[in-house]
Amino acid sequence: MFNLFVDCGILTFFKTRIIIMNEHTNQMKEPAKGMAIASMVCGICSLVFIWVPFVNIILAIVGVAIGHVHLSNMKKSPEDFDGRGMAIAGLATGYVTIGFFILGLIMIMAGSAAFFSAL
């Protein structure tokens, strides 16, 4: 995955791009990262729409699911898939939104219990 080059006595690492050649059409095929992008977009949109009830949780669950599927696909065949950072960003933002949603439900239940016990 990583190549090591010595340049003027300084060690530098950089990630090599894996480009696969299609045997039938002789065209270059880059690794797929569409699901990673979709996971990141769903996660970010779930945080943007945090105040819209149930839209945020649906986007967060979709983002987390797609992120896990993409990371699983990367683990199975790393030469066919790319975009690990975007998938992890989608997972992180999705899990943060789910945490805020659960925290909001707990606060609503505690507030309503306090309100009705005061009556």
pLDDT in tens, 5-54: 444 444 444 455 555 555 666 666 788 899 999 999 999 999 999 999 89
Q: What's the whole-number average pLDDT of the chain?
A: 84
Largest separation between any pair of C-alpha atoms in the chain: 78
The pLDDT of residue 3 is above 50 = no
Percent of the chain with pLDDT over 70: 76
Using an 8 Å Cβ cutoff, are 70 and 81 in contact? yes
The pLDDT, as a whole number, for residue 6 is 43
Q: How many angstroms separate the CA atoms of 62 and 71, rounded?
A: 14
